[in-house]
A = this chain, B = another copy of it.
């Protein structure tokens, strides 16, 4: 039986680990804010694909309380500067056989974990899902629900295949990607313009960003800057990718980006994973990114002053 520990039991992590448990994996969870509720009655997941309950094999207050050696540790925390993911992983990474799985947003987010645990395989994973946590112990799944995964920095391994199969058994399509870095940049090509602009332009939805000429132009410019940085980093994003992201967004019903949802809920924004890392990579590679810099400065400040 596959032994899994989840660190970062937000909406995304809980949903996918609930599916893993449905597929037969033994899943323990480090719960924080909702420890008491989950310890008592597990998670209730309201899903477009049918509601279900997820009773973790163990509910822990701290990763240090975990006594086993997991096959996979899934880290699904947000990427925030003050969140010490390495410190949370340290107590449970007891063997090089444990595979670390990051289900996180942004680019260049694997480095610190890679450096701290050089002997453990690292699966970089990206989630495509509409999911939120309306109350303690509850998850609301509203759309999609797929994953893409691959070995960091590249390749497909036996452990990746085993994990994908375990997700498949739980009903989750988990695609194996030879070049997960490209996939991450491709997702950033959407996230980098639309997440910050949705907040900075006065809380606007995707329809407003594609319909209002000056916002569409700004998003497009941010996409072009993203492509330039990606290319400088050896990632073959192209304008064609940007066009298809833009068309997809135009055709999709209007919706609020995850960053706008975070902002309106008063939660911290993933400024660094989405914008900061891209700006830093641009500077390291001497790529001019004036619009990215402007949005980064404004968003960093907004993040500090959110009410």
Which residues of B are found within 8 Å of A294, using beta-carbon distances?
218, 221, 290-291, 294-295
A63 nearest CB across to chain B (Å):
33
A32 at the interface (CB under 8 A from B): no
Give the nearest-CB partner of A201 in chain B: B301
Decide if A305 touches B218 in the complex (CB within 8 Å).
no
- What string of 1s and 0s marks CB contacts (under 8 Å) between A269-307 and chain B? 000000000000000000000110111111011111110
Which of B217, B291, B301, B306 is close to A208, meaning CB atoms less than 8 Å apart?
A: B301
Which residues of B are found within 8 Å of A291, using beta-carbon distances?
290-291, 293-294
**In whole angstroms, what is the CA distance A135 to B215 when docked?**
36
**In whole angstroms, what is the CA distance A200 to B197 when docked?**
11
Decide if A215 touches B301 in the complex (CB within 8 Å).
yes
Copies in the complex: 2
A212 at the interface (CB under 8 A from B): yes
Which residues of B are found within 8 Å of A305, using beta-carbon distances?
201-204
Within 8 A of B (CB), among A193-245: 197, 200-204, 208, 212, 214-215, 217-218, 221
Decide if B203 touches A200 in the complex (CB within 8 Å).
no
**In whole angstroms, what is the CA distance A217 to B212 when docked?**
28
Within 8 A of B (CB), among A166-211: 197, 200-204, 208
Which residues of B are found within 8 Å of A201, using beta-carbon distances?
297-298, 301-302, 305
Known: A212-B301, A298-B197, A301-B208. A293 touches B202 (CB 8 A): no
Q: What are 30 sample pairs from A and B whose C-beta atoms fall under 8 A apart? A: A197-B298, A200-B200, A201-B297, A201-B298, A201-B301, A201-B305, A202-B298, A202-B301, A202-B302, A202-B303, A202-B305, A203-B305, A204-B301, A204-B305, A214-B296, A214-B300, A215-B297, A215-B298, A217-B297, A218-B294, A221-B293, A221-B294, A290-B290, A290-B291, A290-B294, A291-B291, A291-B293, A291-B294, A294-B294, A298-B298
